[in-house]
Amino acid sequence: MRIVQKEEAVMLLKQGDLVVLPTETVYGLAADGLNTDAVKKIFTAKGRPFGNPLILHVSSLEMLERLVKDISIQSKILMQLFWPGPLTLVFNRSELVPDIVTAGLDTVCVRMPKQDSTLAIIEALGKPLAAPSANKSGRPSPTNLADLEKEMPEIAVIDGGQTELGIESTVVDAREKDVKILRLGSLEVEKIEAALDEKVILIEKDSRAKSPGQNFKHYSPNAEVILIWPWETFGEKVSNENGSRYTTVEEAIADLYDRFKCGIICDSSRETLYLGYDVLPLGIGSIEHAKNLFATLHKAEDLAWEKIIVDMSKIYSKEALGPTVVERLKRSAE
Ligand code: AMP
Ligand code: MG
Protein backbone atom coordinates (compact mmCIF):
# COMPACT_ATOMS: atom_id res chain seq x y z
CA MET A 1 0.00 0.00 0.00
CA ARG A 2 1.37 3.38 -0.98
CA ILE A 3 0.21 6.33 1.11
CA VAL A 4 0.34 9.61 -0.79
CA GLN A 5 -0.22 13.29 0.03
CA LYS A 6 -2.76 15.62 -1.51
CA GLU A 7 -0.50 17.04 -4.26
CA GLU A 8 0.38 13.61 -5.62
CA ALA A 9 -3.25 12.48 -5.42
CA VAL A 10 -4.34 15.45 -7.51
CA MET A 11 -1.57 14.76 -10.04
CA LEU A 12 -2.57 11.09 -10.35
CA LEU A 13 -6.25 12.00 -10.80
CA LYS A 14 -5.35 14.65 -13.42
CA GLN A 15 -3.47 12.09 -15.46
CA GLY A 16 -6.43 9.69 -15.35
CA ASP A 17 -5.23 7.33 -12.61
CA LEU A 18 -7.08 5.99 -9.57
CA VAL A 19 -6.58 7.10 -5.95
CA VAL A 20 -8.30 5.78 -2.81
CA LEU A 21 -9.73 8.63 -0.73
CA PRO A 22 -11.30 8.64 2.73
CA THR A 23 -14.84 9.95 3.16
CA GLU A 24 -17.04 10.12 6.25
CA THR A 25 -18.88 6.98 5.05
CA VAL A 26 -16.30 4.47 3.68
CA TYR A 27 -13.08 4.64 1.64
CA GLY A 28 -13.77 5.45 -2.03
CA LEU A 29 -11.94 4.36 -5.17
CA ALA A 30 -11.75 7.68 -7.00
CA ALA A 31 -11.22 8.75 -10.60
CA ASP A 32 -11.80 11.94 -12.58
CA GLY A 33 -15.56 11.59 -13.07
CA LEU A 34 -15.56 13.36 -16.43
CA ASN A 35 -12.84 11.16 -17.98
CA THR A 36 -14.33 7.99 -19.47
CA ASP A 37 -11.02 6.10 -19.61
CA ALA A 38 -10.25 6.94 -15.98
CA VAL A 39 -13.73 5.86 -14.84
CA LYS A 40 -13.32 2.62 -16.79
CA LYS A 41 -10.35 1.81 -14.53
CA ILE A 42 -12.69 1.86 -11.51
CA PHE A 43 -14.90 -0.84 -13.03
CA THR A 44 -11.84 -2.93 -13.93
CA ALA A 45 -10.16 -2.59 -10.50
CA LYS A 46 -13.38 -3.50 -8.66
CA GLY A 47 -14.64 -6.09 -11.12
CA ARG A 48 -17.84 -4.03 -11.08
CA PRO A 49 -20.59 -4.69 -13.65
CA PHE A 50 -20.90 -1.77 -16.09
CA GLY A 51 -24.67 -1.75 -15.42
CA ASN A 52 -24.09 -0.44 -11.89
CA PRO A 53 -23.85 3.38 -12.06
CA LEU A 54 -21.44 5.49 -9.98
CA ILE A 55 -21.94 8.46 -7.67
CA LEU A 56 -20.18 11.74 -8.53
CA HIS A 57 -18.62 13.63 -5.61
CA VAL A 58 -18.55 17.44 -5.77
CA SER A 59 -16.95 20.13 -3.62
CA SER A 60 -19.30 23.02 -4.45
CA LEU A 61 -22.78 23.84 -5.69
CA GLU A 62 -21.26 25.46 -8.80
CA MET A 63 -19.72 22.11 -9.66
CA LEU A 64 -23.09 20.40 -9.14
CA GLU A 65 -24.85 22.88 -11.40
CA ARG A 66 -22.61 21.96 -14.33
CA LEU A 67 -23.55 18.27 -13.98
CA VAL A 68 -27.32 18.52 -13.74
CA LYS A 69 -30.24 20.03 -15.62
CA ASP A 70 -32.59 21.14 -12.89
CA ILE A 71 -32.68 21.10 -9.10
CA SER A 72 -36.07 20.65 -7.38
CA ILE A 73 -37.07 22.61 -4.28
CA GLN A 74 -37.05 19.37 -2.29
CA SER A 75 -33.48 18.60 -3.40
CA LYS A 76 -32.43 22.13 -2.46
CA ILE A 77 -33.86 21.74 1.04
CA LEU A 78 -32.06 18.43 1.55
CA MET A 79 -28.76 19.75 0.16
CA GLN A 80 -28.90 22.80 2.36
CA LEU A 81 -29.39 20.69 5.48
CA PHE A 82 -27.29 17.62 4.78
CA TRP A 83 -24.42 18.61 2.47
CA PRO A 84 -21.60 18.00 2.99
CA GLY A 85 -22.73 14.65 4.37
CA PRO A 86 -23.94 11.10 3.66
CA LEU A 87 -26.78 12.09 1.32
CA THR A 88 -26.70 11.23 -2.40
CA LEU A 89 -29.29 12.86 -4.65
CA VAL A 90 -30.57 11.83 -8.07
CA PHE A 91 -30.67 14.57 -10.74
CA ASN A 92 -31.45 14.80 -14.43
CA ARG A 93 -27.97 14.82 -15.95
CA SER A 94 -26.33 17.36 -18.23
CA GLU A 95 -24.35 16.45 -21.37
CA LEU A 96 -21.12 16.86 -19.42
CA VAL A 97 -21.62 13.56 -17.56
CA PRO A 98 -20.12 10.56 -19.40
CA ASP A 99 -22.40 7.58 -20.12
CA ILE A 100 -20.07 5.24 -18.27
CA VAL A 101 -20.81 7.04 -14.96
CA THR A 102 -24.59 6.68 -15.23
CA ALA A 103 -24.69 3.27 -16.94
CA GLY A 104 -26.51 5.02 -19.77
CA LEU A 105 -29.33 6.45 -17.57
CA ASP A 106 -30.52 10.01 -18.11
CA THR A 107 -30.05 10.66 -14.38
CA VAL A 108 -26.89 11.09 -12.34
CA CYS A 109 -26.29 10.59 -8.62
CA VAL A 110 -24.27 13.29 -6.82
CA ARG A 111 -23.13 13.93 -3.27
CA MET A 112 -20.79 16.25 -1.35
CA PRO A 113 -18.66 14.23 1.09
CA LYS A 114 -17.85 15.57 4.55
CA GLN A 115 -14.10 15.06 4.58
CA ASP A 116 -11.87 18.13 4.31
CA SER A 117 -8.93 16.42 2.58
CA THR A 118 -11.20 14.90 -0.08
CA LEU A 119 -13.10 18.16 -0.65
CA ALA A 120 -9.72 19.93 -1.09
CA ILE A 121 -8.65 17.34 -3.68
CA ILE A 122 -11.90 17.73 -5.66
CA GLU A 123 -11.49 21.50 -5.46
CA ALA A 124 -7.89 21.32 -6.71
CA LEU A 125 -8.88 18.98 -9.55
CA GLY A 126 -11.75 21.29 -10.46
CA LYS A 127 -13.84 18.29 -11.50
CA PRO A 128 -16.17 15.81 -9.76
CA LEU A 129 -14.82 12.45 -8.67
CA ALA A 130 -16.54 9.16 -9.37
CA ALA A 131 -15.87 7.16 -6.20
CA PRO A 132 -17.61 3.90 -5.28
CA SER A 133 -16.47 2.00 -2.20
CA ALA A 134 -12.86 0.82 -2.54
CA ASN A 135 -13.60 -2.92 -2.30
CA LYS A 136 -13.74 -5.62 -4.93
CA SER A 137 -17.31 -5.78 -6.24
CA GLY A 138 -19.67 -7.68 -3.92
CA ARG A 139 -17.44 -7.44 -0.82
CA PRO A 140 -17.74 -5.51 2.45
CA SER A 141 -16.59 -1.90 2.08
CA PRO A 142 -13.25 -0.81 3.62
CA THR A 143 -13.49 1.57 6.59
CA ASN A 144 -9.82 1.47 7.63
CA LEU A 145 -6.40 1.02 5.99
CA ALA A 146 -5.96 -2.63 7.04
CA ASP A 147 -9.20 -3.67 5.32
CA LEU A 148 -8.37 -1.50 2.33
CA GLU A 149 -5.02 -3.29 1.98
CA LYS A 150 -6.95 -6.55 1.45
CA GLU A 151 -9.11 -5.00 -1.28
CA MET A 152 -6.95 -2.53 -3.24
CA PRO A 153 -3.31 -3.07 -2.22
CA GLU A 154 -1.92 -1.63 -5.45
CA ILE A 155 -3.72 1.75 -5.49
CA ALA A 156 -2.27 4.98 -4.00
CA VAL A 157 -4.22 6.09 -0.93
CA ILE A 158 -4.77 9.16 1.24
CA ASP A 159 -4.71 8.06 4.90
CA GLY A 160 -7.86 9.17 6.71
CA GLY A 161 -7.73 6.69 9.61
CA GLN A 162 -11.00 4.97 10.48
CA THR A 163 -14.02 6.42 8.66
CA GLU A 164 -16.50 8.23 10.86
CA LEU A 165 -19.81 6.60 9.89
CA GLY A 166 -18.85 3.24 8.38
CA ILE A 167 -21.80 2.76 5.99
CA GLU A 168 -22.45 4.33 2.56
CA SER A 169 -24.63 7.34 1.83
CA THR A 170 -28.43 7.30 1.63
CA VAL A 171 -29.56 7.59 -2.01
CA VAL A 172 -32.63 9.81 -2.45
CA ASP A 173 -34.65 10.78 -5.51
CA ALA A 174 -36.21 14.14 -4.63
CA ARG A 175 -36.83 15.28 -8.19
CA GLU A 176 -40.59 15.08 -7.78
CA LYS A 177 -43.17 15.63 -5.06
CA ASP A 178 -43.10 12.01 -3.92
CA VAL A 179 -39.60 11.67 -2.53
CA LYS A 180 -38.12 8.18 -2.78
CA ILE A 181 -35.34 6.44 -0.87
CA LEU A 182 -33.47 4.29 -3.41
CA ARG A 183 -30.90 2.99 -0.93
CA LEU A 184 -30.79 3.13 2.85
CA GLY A 185 -27.59 4.62 4.21
CA SER A 186 -25.88 6.68 6.88
CA LEU A 187 -28.44 9.50 6.81
CA GLU A 188 -31.53 8.38 8.75
CA VAL A 189 -34.85 8.36 6.90
CA GLU A 190 -36.50 10.15 9.86
CA LYS A 191 -34.14 13.09 9.40
CA ILE A 192 -35.10 13.33 5.72
CA GLU A 193 -38.81 13.16 6.58
CA ALA A 194 -38.41 15.79 9.29
CA ALA A 195 -36.58 18.10 6.88
CA LEU A 196 -39.27 17.77 4.20
CA ASP A 197 -42.14 17.58 6.68
CA GLU A 198 -43.57 14.62 4.78
CA LYS A 199 -43.30 10.83 4.56
CA VAL A 200 -40.98 9.39 1.93
CA ILE A 201 -41.36 6.20 -0.09
CA LEU A 202 -38.96 3.35 0.49
CA ILE A 203 -38.21 1.57 -2.80
CA GLU A 204 -37.84 -2.13 -2.08
CA LYS A 205 -35.14 -4.29 -3.57
CA ASP A 206 -36.24 -6.09 -6.77
CA SER A 207 -38.37 -3.12 -7.77
CA ARG A 208 -35.45 -0.75 -7.76
CA ALA A 209 -35.49 0.12 -11.43
CA LYS A 210 -34.39 3.65 -10.48
CA SER A 211 -31.42 2.44 -8.44
CA PRO A 212 -30.12 -0.34 -10.65
CA GLY A 213 -27.00 -1.24 -8.65
CA GLN A 214 -29.13 -2.33 -5.72
CA ASN A 215 -29.85 -5.67 -7.32
CA PHE A 216 -26.21 -6.77 -7.57
CA LYS A 217 -24.53 -8.96 -4.93
CA HIS A 218 -23.14 -6.81 -2.13
CA TYR A 219 -21.25 -6.58 1.16
CA SER A 220 -20.43 -10.31 1.38
CA PRO A 221 -17.37 -11.57 3.25
CA ASN A 222 -15.64 -14.78 2.37
CA ALA A 223 -17.78 -16.77 4.82
CA GLU A 224 -21.43 -17.72 5.15
CA VAL A 225 -23.36 -15.08 7.10
CA ILE A 226 -26.27 -16.56 9.06
CA LEU A 227 -28.73 -14.13 10.61
CA ILE A 228 -30.64 -15.28 13.68
CA TRP A 229 -33.71 -13.12 14.13
CA PRO A 230 -35.25 -12.25 17.49
CA TRP A 231 -38.66 -13.83 17.97
CA GLU A 232 -40.41 -10.67 18.91
CA THR A 233 -39.43 -7.03 18.93
CA PHE A 234 -41.81 -4.17 19.67
CA GLY A 235 -44.63 -6.75 19.83
CA GLU A 236 -43.96 -7.61 16.20
CA LYS A 237 -42.95 -11.07 15.01
CA VAL A 238 -39.74 -10.82 13.03
CA SER A 239 -38.33 -14.29 13.52
CA ASN A 240 -36.83 -16.01 10.52
CA GLU A 241 -37.34 -12.91 8.43
CA ASN A 242 -35.04 -14.03 5.64
CA GLY A 243 -35.63 -17.74 5.96
CA SER A 244 -32.59 -18.62 8.07
CA ARG A 245 -32.52 -22.32 8.88
CA TYR A 246 -32.03 -21.69 12.60
CA THR A 247 -34.37 -19.97 15.00
CA THR A 248 -31.92 -19.51 17.87
CA VAL A 249 -28.19 -18.90 18.20
CA GLU A 250 -27.97 -22.01 20.39
CA GLU A 251 -29.45 -24.11 17.59
CA ALA A 252 -26.95 -22.74 15.08
CA ILE A 253 -24.04 -23.34 17.46
CA ALA A 254 -25.21 -26.90 18.17
CA ASP A 255 -25.35 -27.72 14.48
CA LEU A 256 -22.27 -25.86 13.23
CA TYR A 257 -19.65 -25.41 15.94
CA ASP A 258 -18.06 -28.85 15.70
CA ARG A 259 -18.00 -28.98 11.94
CA PHE A 260 -16.91 -25.45 10.96
CA LYS A 261 -14.80 -22.59 12.24
CA CYS A 262 -17.61 -20.41 13.58
CA GLY A 263 -18.03 -17.20 15.44
CA ILE A 264 -20.81 -14.96 16.67
CA ILE A 265 -21.42 -11.27 15.96
CA CYS A 266 -23.75 -9.58 18.44
CA ASP A 267 -24.63 -6.34 20.18
CA SER A 268 -21.99 -5.77 22.87
CA SER A 269 -24.57 -6.07 25.66
CA ARG A 270 -25.12 -9.72 24.68
CA GLU A 271 -21.47 -10.76 24.54
CA THR A 272 -21.54 -12.47 27.94
CA LEU A 273 -24.26 -14.86 26.72
CA TYR A 274 -21.62 -16.51 24.55
CA LEU A 275 -18.71 -17.04 26.95
CA GLY A 276 -16.43 -19.76 25.67
CA TYR A 277 -17.24 -19.09 22.01
CA ASP A 278 -15.51 -16.82 19.50
CA VAL A 279 -17.38 -13.51 19.59
CA LEU A 280 -16.96 -10.18 17.78
CA PRO A 281 -19.10 -7.52 19.48
CA LEU A 282 -20.61 -4.84 17.25
CA GLY A 283 -20.91 -2.07 19.85
CA ILE A 284 -24.08 -0.78 21.40
CA GLY A 285 -26.83 0.98 19.43
CA SER A 286 -27.30 1.42 15.71
CA ILE A 287 -24.75 4.22 15.27
CA GLU A 288 -21.98 2.00 16.68
CA HIS A 289 -23.30 -1.03 14.78
CA ALA A 290 -23.10 0.96 11.53
CA LYS A 291 -19.62 2.23 12.29
CA ASN A 292 -18.28 -1.24 13.11
CA LEU A 293 -20.24 -3.50 10.74
CA PHE A 294 -17.93 -3.76 7.72
CA ALA A 295 -14.74 -3.79 9.80
CA THR A 296 -16.24 -6.63 11.87
CA LEU A 297 -17.12 -8.68 8.77
CA HIS A 298 -13.54 -8.16 7.57
CA LYS A 299 -12.23 -9.23 11.00
CA ALA A 300 -14.35 -12.40 10.96
CA GLU A 301 -12.89 -13.23 7.59
CA ASP A 302 -9.33 -12.52 8.84
CA LEU A 303 -9.99 -14.99 11.68
CA ALA A 304 -10.88 -17.54 8.98
CA TRP A 305 -14.41 -18.02 10.30
CA GLU A 306 -16.34 -20.15 7.80
CA LYS A 307 -19.74 -19.39 9.36
CA ILE A 308 -20.61 -16.02 10.87
CA ILE A 309 -23.61 -16.37 13.17
CA VAL A 310 -25.23 -12.97 13.73
CA ASP A 311 -27.43 -12.60 16.81
CA MET A 312 -29.91 -9.97 15.53
CA SER A 313 -31.40 -9.27 18.99
CA LYS A 314 -30.67 -5.61 19.79
CA ILE A 315 -29.41 -5.17 16.21
CA TYR A 316 -32.86 -5.49 14.62
CA SER A 317 -34.35 -2.06 15.22
CA LYS A 318 -36.52 0.48 13.45
CA GLU A 319 -34.77 3.38 15.15
CA ALA A 320 -32.00 5.60 13.79
CA LEU A 321 -29.60 3.54 11.65
CA GLY A 322 -31.22 0.19 12.60
CA PRO A 323 -32.94 -0.31 9.21
CA THR A 324 -29.70 0.51 7.37
CA VAL A 325 -27.63 -1.94 9.42
CA VAL A 326 -30.27 -4.65 9.00
CA GLU A 327 -30.39 -4.06 5.24
CA ARG A 328 -26.59 -4.38 4.91
CA LEU A 329 -26.59 -7.56 7.01
CA LYS A 330 -29.41 -9.08 4.94
CA ARG A 331 -27.51 -8.33 1.75
CA SER A 332 -24.28 -9.79 3.17
CA ALA A 333 -26.18 -12.98 4.03
CA GLU A 334 -27.71 -13.42 0.56
P1 AMP B 1 -21.96 2.51 -4.55
O2 AMP B 1 -22.02 1.20 -5.22
O3 AMP B 1 -22.01 2.46 -3.07
O4 AMP B 1 -20.93 3.41 -5.09
O5 AMP B 1 -23.32 3.27 -4.87
C6 AMP B 1 -23.73 3.49 -6.14
C7 AMP B 1 -25.20 3.27 -6.13
O8 AMP B 1 -25.87 4.50 -6.32
C9 AMP B 1 -25.65 2.40 -7.26
O10 AMP B 1 -25.51 1.07 -6.96
C11 AMP B 1 -27.10 2.82 -7.40
O12 AMP B 1 -27.86 2.15 -6.47
C13 AMP B 1 -27.05 4.28 -7.04
N14 AMP B 1 -27.02 5.09 -8.26
C15 AMP B 1 -25.96 5.58 -8.91
N16 AMP B 1 -26.34 6.29 -9.97
C17 AMP B 1 -27.68 6.24 -10.02
C18 AMP B 1 -28.67 6.80 -10.88
N19 AMP B 1 -28.37 7.56 -11.92
N20 AMP B 1 -29.96 6.56 -10.59
C21 AMP B 1 -30.29 5.81 -9.53
N22 AMP B 1 -29.41 5.26 -8.67
C23 AMP B 1 -28.11 5.47 -8.91
MG1 MG C 1 -19.98 -0.36 -2.70
Residues 23 and 156 in one domain: yes
pLDDT at 246: 87
Residues 194 and 51 in one domain: yes
Q: Give 145's contacts (C-beta < 8 A, 6+ positions apart).
A: 1, 157, 159, 161
What ligand has the least distance to the C-alpha of 138? 2
108 lines ligand 1 (CB under 6 A): yes
Burial class (CB in 10 A: 0-12, 13-18, 19+), 306: middle
pLDDT at 245: 78
pLDDT at 8: 98
From the CA of 6, how far away is ligand 1's center (Å)? 27
Whether residue 282 lies inside any domain: the answer is yes
CATH for 260: 3.40.50.11030
Residues 15 and 109 in one domain: yes
- Count CB neighbours of 114 within 10 A: 18
253 lines ligand 1 (CB under 6 A): no
Whether residue 209 lies inside any domain: the answer is no
Residues 163 and 230 in one domain: no
pLDDT at 180: 97
pLDDT at 247: 84
131 lines ligand 1 (CB under 6 A): no
Residues 234 and 276 in one domain: yes
Residues 135 and 253 in one domain: no
The number of distinct structural domains making up the chain is 2
Residues 185 and 244 in one domain: no
**Mean pLDDT per 10-residue interval, the chain, length 334 residues:** 97 98 98 98 97 97 97 98 98 98 97 98 98 97 98 98 98 97 97 98 70 73 92 60 76 94 97 96 98 98 97 94 96 92
pLDDT at 239: 55
Whether residue 151 lies inside any domain: the answer is yes
213 lines ligand 1 (CB under 6 A): yes
Provide the residue range defining the domain that includes 115: 6-202
pLDDT at 145: 98
**DSSP per-residue string spanning 92-103:** EB-TTS-HHHHT
CATH for 94: 3.90.870.10
- Angle subtended at Cα 86 by Cα 178 and Cα 28, rounded to the nearest 5 degrees: 125
Q: What is the pTM of this model?
A: 0.95
- The domain boundary, picked from 202, 234, 255, lies at 202
Residues 167 and 60 in one domain: yes
pLDDT at 209: 53
Q: Give 116's contacts (C-beta < 8 A, 6+ positions apart).
A: none
Q: Which helix (H) or strand (E) holds 241?
A: none
What ligand has the least distance to the C-alpha of 142? 2
pLDDT at 240: 54
